[in-house]
Amino acid sequence: MVEFMADKDTETQRLPYRLREPFLASTELALFRVLTELMGKRYSICPKVSLNDIFYIVRPNENVHFFNKFFRKHVDFLLCDMQTLTPAFGVEIVRPISKKEVRETDKFLEDLFTDAGLPLVHVPSSESYDPSDVITLFQLAVVKIGGTVPLRIETPTDFVPNCPVCGKMMVLRIDRNGSGVGRKYYGCMDSPRCAGVVSID
Ligand SMILES: [Zn+2]
């Protein structure tokens, strides 16, 4: 009885986080295994990578709504060069279309990758994958992207940090009052709800 009480106390003192199981759904795990078998020597296969970690938004002051479109979204797998970890392919499992919303998300993801010059491989969801089918889908993605040159940093001022407090996009702001009038800095797009600030030297 005493032991039981002690356990309960320990339980209430734990933070309210628990491990999600499984980390990958069975369809994702099946594809991960095939990708590892086919390309595991050339690429590092990273599951569930946040789009916000792969791409940044140019001219963020004009493009705030584009941030809302991709924040908290991820791509199922990102294949990165083994040495440099430079992204080489995105791989997304396409679920059977049941809602209009799903289709729009897939379309958006495709446009996003294509415009940024990174091939995105769409793989129809399945419990097992044929390696030769997967290779064909990779070839298709490369053909689709054609001669698109990856658009990297256009000008140094195009690169904007993410908010150090909440991780959202930051926008350029100018101090309107106080001792630092005219001073430029990056403020969180969620200001004043979030106080995240990055100063510009
Ligand atoms: Zn913030």
- The pocket of ion ligand 1, defined by CB under 5 A, consists of 163, 165-166, 168, 188, 190, 194, 196
Q: Is residue 9 part of a domain?
A: no
Strand ranges (E), 13-163: 43-50, 74-81, 87-94, 120-124
* Residue 78 pLDDT > 70: yes
State the Cα–Cα distance between residues 123 and 90, nearest whole angstrom.
11
What proportion of the chain, given as a percentage, has pLDDT over 70? 85
Model confidence, pTM: 0.70
Among 118, 145, 172, identify where a domain stops.
145
Query: Do residues 104 and 186 both lie within one domain?
Result: no
Same domain, 69 and 133: yes
The number of distinct structural domains making up the chain is 2
CA of 72 to the centre of ligand 1 (A): 14
Residues 141, 164, single domain; the answer is no
Confidence of residue 162 (pLDDT cuts 50, 70, 90): confident
**Do residues 180 and 189 lie in contact, with contact meaning Cβ atoms separated by under 8 Å?**
no
Q: Given pLDDT bands bounded at 50, 70 and 90, which one contains residue 87?
A: very high
Last residue of a domain, one of 145, 169, 186: 145
State which amino acid sits at residue 153: I
Instruction: Report CA(156)–ligand 1 centroid distance (Å).
Output: 22
For ligand 1, the distance from its centroid to the CA atom of residue 192, given in whole angstroms, is 9
One-letter amino acid at 166 equals C
Is residue 30 located within the same domain as residue 64?
Answer: yes
The tens digit of pLDDT for each residue in 131-158 reads 999 999 998 888 888 755 444 434 445 5
CA of 68 to the centre of ligand 1 (A): 13
Domain that holds residue 141: 20-145
Specify if 154 maps to a domain: no
Same domain (yes/no): 129, 175: no
* Phi, psi torsion values for 167, nearest 5 degrees: 85, 0
Distance CA 145, CA 141 (A): 6
